[in-house]
Structure 1
Amino acid sequence: MLKALRYFWKEQPIALSVFVLALVLLVFFGVRFVDRFLYFHDPAHRNQALEPWMTPRYVGMSYELPREVIFDVMGIGDTEGRRVHVGEIAARMGISLNELEARVRKAKVEFIEQQKQQQPPKPPKPPKPPKPAAERKGP
């Protein structure tokens, strides 16, 4: 294998460099994805009480709400989303973190209801076929 790497480095250094860079990026983002996936699938990290250090994105992931819903509840724009923390948002709105958390929870309930209304109704189950005459009990 080392011989093959030397060959590719000698014959195609740019292609090998691009390949190695792509491999490093793949591993980096793959590990990051798995880390966040496992973190937010732990029940201890769902629907957490709001803390001043949290970002709107963190709150959205914890409460499983889309970005638009969180930004609407917190009254912020797309440009502010990464630079501001929940404590600053609550202070700007003139409310406590508990009040902001209540608004987020209410938005989650409304979002779930909206999702239920948008889903088509499930088709009814077909009736069970009648039992054969040999299995029936009676006169």
Structure 2
Amino acid sequence: MRRLGWRWLIVVAFLLAASFAGLFAVRAVRRAVYWSSHRDEVIRPWMSVHYVARSYRVPPHVLYRAINLEPLPRDRRPLREVAREQNRAFEALAAELQNAIAEFRAHPERFPPPPPPHGGPKTP
């Protein structure tokens, strides 16, 4: 009778492990499908700088520099809010982002590497 208990425990542990692995596999596939179909989207007011950078495959620090902002790791503000804080129209902000994207794609070597993370070691 004790052997039967151990078998059930092993089966339950295996099913739990398989469920977790399946969950992470589904999440990875969903992300891959989402970003493969959301490339080079028209820049909209609800998007963040990081969203635009990911959609256009441009490093975020390039876009932050183009709109005169300090790159923040968790900055999720929509572009609408950034434009309002800078007292300018969203269309002007979007145009600057588009220009930076075009410039980066034409000449990526002109852009310096990203700055080190906050609190990280600085290279000479």
Classify the TM-score, shorter chain.
Answer: 0.5 to 0.7
The higher-RCO structure (CA 8 Å, 6+ apart) is 2
Can you list the C-alpha shifts for 1:7-65, whole angstroms capped at 9, x where unaligned? Answer: x971413243122211121112212221221232xxxxx251x3321221222233332
CA distance in 2, matches of 1:92, 1:70: 16
Which one-letter code corresponds to 1:29 in the other structure? A
- TM normalised by structure 2 equals 0.66
Which one-letter code corresponds to 2:29 in the other structure? G
Residues 36 and 107 from structure 1, CA distance in 2 versus in 1: closer, same or farther, beyond 3 angstroms?
same
Q: What secondary structure, in the 3-state scheme, does the structure 1 residue paired with 2:38 have?
A: helix
CA distance in 2, matches of 1:9, 1:73: 61
How many residues in Structure 1 have an aligned counterpart in Structure 2? 104
Which one-letter code corresponds to 2:8 in the other structure? K
Asked whether the equivalents of residues 47 and 78 of structure 2 are also in contact (C-alpha less than 8 Å), the reply is yes
Asked whether the equivalents of residues 71 and 81 of structure 1 are also in contact (C-alpha less than 8 Å), the reply is no
Q: What secondary structure, in the 3-state scheme, does the structure 1 residue paired with 2:71 have?
A: coil
- Which residue in 1 is equivalent to 2:57? 64
CA distance in 1, matches of 2:56, 2:86: 20
Which one-letter code corresponds to 2:33 in the other structure? V
- Which residue in 1 is equivalent to 2:66? 73
- TM normalised by structure 1 equals 0.60
Which one-letter code corresponds to 1:10 in the other structure? W
Q: Deviation of residue 79 (structure 1)?
A: 3.9
Can you list the C-alpha shifts for 1:49-99, whole angstroms capped at 9, x where unaligned? Answer: x332122122223333222212323414324422x1000001111211121
CA distance in 2, matches of 1:54, 1:17: 37
Residues 15 and 39 from structure 1, CA distance in 2 versus in 1: closer, same or farther, beyond 3 angstroms?
same
**What are structure 2's unaligned runs of at least 5 residues?**
1-5, 112-124
Identity of aligned residues (%): 21
CA distance in 2, matches of 1:9, 1:111: 59
Residues 78 and 112 from structure 1, CA distance in 2 versus in 1: closer, same or farther, beyond 3 angstroms?
same
- Which residue in 2 is equivalent to 1:18? 17
**What are structure 1's unaligned runs of at least 5 residues?**
1-7, 41-45, 119-139
Which protein has the larger Cα radius of gyration, Structure 1 or Structure 2? Answer: 1
